[in-house]
Amino acid sequence: MNTSKTDISSTPATQYAGPWRTAWRDVRRNKVAVGSLVVLFIIIAACLAAPWYADHVMHLDAFSSNINGTYLVNGVPKPVLETSTSGLGLGVNPIGPTWDPANFFLGADNQGRDVMSRLLYGGRNSLMIGFVSAVICCVLAGLVGVVAGYFGGGLDAVLSRGLDVLWAFPVYLLAICLSVVLINATLDIGPITLTSGSIILPILIIGVIYVPYVARPIRGQTMSLREREFVQASVGAGATDARLLRREILPNVLPTLIVFLPLMTAINMLTESALSFLSIGVQPPDASWGTVINDGVGLLYTRPMVAIAPGVMLAITAVALNLFGDGIRDALDPKARLRGAV
């Protein structure tokens, strides 16, 4: 080559920090993404504090029924379930919000339980189910997508048709089918036994049903990566499949999967809540935002706060996850085409 040593450094080369650190710096510069992250942290911290709140602020167990419970009004105990004043005056209504953190802040549900405590406990489950099922979904989809896209041929045909079939189901219906059949059964999968009503079940179901949404773009990306020059160069240098997958394909697919993670978490939380709302997700006495909304539907016109509060929490969390996800996408993978931008 003819390029001499004369002074290429006349323009000081800017230090390149590597793709991950650059992306993280971009996320940190993005005010919306940072704000969303802060909101998420606050919600997560509050939900993690659920047992502390129930034991030390509310002094009431959030899961056992409290029909004969009382609360204090100006030092005088009053029943949590007050006699209904409407209609025939026969039924009972739980009390509404007192806006006193130690005293049924958001009121009680129809079993006299504290709604605020159940909201926080429910958040733990909703967040956990949403996140874990999103991880499961992304890992499975990454596996299926990369294998199908990389090896191609018959393996790809089988996997892709499988994805097509799964894709052809409206996701809610698929989740419902699986839930209906499985939710009351006791399953033995090798060493693990899932008892009926286990919380693992909705996690697995939700994790699986969204696999095609993520796997399809990953497969496409892997296929086009395989044709790219730098991968072909590695092939030419005699790299093994294992090395190619680990060194060339995976590092390039990973950002897409990470972009999907917060978005899938949001979708999965909404799906979980819908299933719980239909009583085929999280089973009582466990709580999730969906089950609390379901509890609240019966009280909708008398004590709307029971249903409104968890819905608002769900919406705020989903908005924060979506905005954070957008921030990550912009930073990591500006060209990502996400199906449905969901």
Partner 1 sequence: MWRFAGRRALAAVLVLFAISVMVFLIFFATPGADPAARIAGRNASQETLAQVRASFGFDKPMYMQYGLMMRHLFIDRDLTSFVNRGSQVIPQITQAIPVTLSLVIGAAVIWMVLGIIMGVAATAGRGTAVDPIIMVFGVIGVSLPVYWLGEVVNLITQSRLHDSWFAWVPPLGYAPLSDGVGTWALHLVLPWMTLAVLYAGIYARVLRSEMVGAMNEDYVRMARAKGIGEGRVLIRHALRTSLIVIVSLFGLDFGALIGGAALLTEVVFGLQGVGKLTYDSLQNFDLPVILGCVLYAAFFVVVANFIVDLAYAWLDPRVRHV
Partner 2 sequence: MSEPLLEVRNLRVSFRTRTGTVTAVDGISFTVDPGEVVGLVGESGSGKSVSMLTVLRLIDNPNCVIEGEVLFKGNDLLTMSDADLRSIRGREIAMIFQDPMTALTPVYTAGWHISEQIRAHEKVSKKAANDRAIQLLTSVGIPNAESRVNSYPHEFSGGMRQRVVIAMALSCNPSLLIADEPTTALDVTIQAQILELLRDLQSEFGASIVLITHDMGVVSQMANRVMVMYGGRLVEAGSRLDVMREPAHPYTWGLMGSIPPTDGTRAVRLAAIPGAPISPSDSDRDRCLFAPRCTFATDSCRPQPGLIEHRPGHSDACIIPFSERAQRRTEALAPMRART
Name the residues that contact partner 2, by CB under 8 A: 1-4, 6-8, 10-11, 14
Judged by CB under 8 A, which stretch of 46-54, 77-85, 89-97, 169-177 contacts partner 1? 169-177
Contact flag: residue 319 with partner 1 (CB under 8 A):
yes
Report the residue count for the chain.
Answer: 342
Residues 142-161, interacting with partner 1 (CB under 8 A)? 161
- Sign for the CA dihedral angle at 323, 324, 329, 331 comes to positive
Q: Which of partner 1, partner 2, none lies near 233, with the C-beta cut-off 5 to 8 A by kind?
A: none
Q: Which is nearer to partner 2, 8 or 88 (CB)?
A: 8
Contact flag: residue 200 with partner 1 (CB under 8 A):
no
Main-chain phi, psi angles of 190, to 5 degrees: 55, -125
Closest CA to 206 of 187, 180, 179, 168: 179
The conformational region for residue 283 under phi > 0 = left, psi -120 to 50 = alpha, else beta, is beta
Residues 35-74, interacting with partner 1 (CB under 8 A)? none
Per the structure block, which two tokens stand in for 36?
């969303």
Query: Alpha helices of 49-152 — where are they, by DSSP H?
Result: 50-52, 115-151
Contact residue for partner 1 among 17, 42, 185, 233 (CB under 8 A): 185
The conformational region for residue 144 under phi > 0 = left, psi -120 to 50 = alpha, else beta, is alpha
CB of 304 to partner 2, least distance (A): 45
CA dist., res. 146 & res. 245, Å (int): 8
**Per-residue contact flags (x/-) with partner 1 for residues 288 to 307, judged by CB under 8 A:** -----x---x--xx--x--x
Q: Which is nearer to partner 1, 58 or 314 (CB)?
A: 314
CA dist., res. 317 & res. 42, Å (int): 10
Contact flag: residue 128 with partner 1 (CB under 8 A):
no
Query: Alpha helices of 49-114 — where are they, by DSSP H?
Result: 50-52
Per the structure block, which two tokens stand in for 21?
């650190």
CB of 144 to partner 1, least distance (A): 16
Q: Which of partner 1, partner 2, none lies near 172, with the C-beta cut-off 5 to 8 A by kind?
A: partner 1
CB of 12 to partner 2, least distance (A): 9
Judged by CB under 8 A, which stretch of 4-12, 117-125, 180-188, 249-257 contacts partner 1? 180-188
Task: Answer whether 310's CB lies under 8 Å from 293's CB.
Answer: yes
Distance of CA 219 to the CA centre of its chain: 23
CA dist., res. 302 & res. 173, Å (int): 32
Contact flag: residue 30 with partner 1 (CB under 8 A):
no
Contact flag: residue 259 with partner 1 (CB under 8 A):
no
Per the structure block, which two tokens stand in for 323?
């905005």
CB of 13 to partner 2, least distance (A): 10
Contact residue for partner 1 among 80, 231, 318, 331 (CB under 8 A): 318
Residues 6+ apart with CB under 8 A from 298: 110
Distance of CA 282 to the CA centre of its chain: 14
Which residues partner with 84 through β-bridges? none
Q: Which of partner 1, partner 2, none lies near 3, with the C-beta cut-off 5 to 8 A by kind?
A: partner 2
Q: Which is nearer to partner 2, 2 or 68 (CB)?
A: 2
Size of the site for partner 1 (CB under 8 A): 47
Main-chain phi, psi angles of 94, to 5 degrees: -70, 155
Interface positions with partner 1 (CB under 8 A) = 161, 164-165, 168-173, 176-178, 180-182, 185-188, 266, 270, 273-274, 277-278, 280, 293, 297, 300-301, 304, 307-308, 311, 314-315, 318-319, 321-323, 326, 337, 339-342
